[in-house]
Amino acid sequence: MSEATKETTHESQEETKHEKVTTEEFKVNGEAIVGKVKEIIREGNIRRITIKNDEGKTLLEIPLTLGVVGGLLMPTLAAIGAIGALIANLSIKVERVERHEVAEEEKPTPEIVNA
């Protein structure tokens, strides 16, 4: 099995007025999971990473915010490595967020009411 293969069977988009959420799923062997998770985090715009086994059962769910980086993820990466050592084939579900800036003309203007 290759190090990581992108699984396009479950790719979806959810769009609101100010942000767009995209979901991707990758199939990864146990040995390559820590490297793939680090790669995904470096890409940025990640809202959540979910690690599942072959049956689709969630083993670990990692909510990520803009402030979570580096040292705070070390214990989580160690846990991911332990899971990868025990389970041969895993899938990684990634939720990405793209935020849209609100243009000046789209911003609501306050209404003045004469009483």
Identify which has the larger pLDDT, 14 or 1.
14
Provide the domain limits for residue 69: 4-100
78 backbone φψ class: left, alpha, beta (φ>0; ψ -120 to 50):
alpha
Whether residue 47 is predicted with pLDDT greater than 50 in this model: the reply is yes
Which pLDDT tens digit goes with each residue over 49-95? 999 998 999 999 988 865 555 566 778 888 888 888 888 899 999 99
Residue 114 within any structural domain of the chain: no
Residue with structure tokens 């062997």? 29
Tell me the whole-structure pTM to 2 decimals.
Answer: 0.67
Evaluate if residue 13 carries a pLDDT over 70.
Answer: no
In a domain, 62, yes or no: yes
Question: What's the number of domains the chain is made of?
Answer: 1
Q: Is residue 76 part of a domain?
A: yes
Instruction: Give the position of tokens 């899938």.
Output: 91
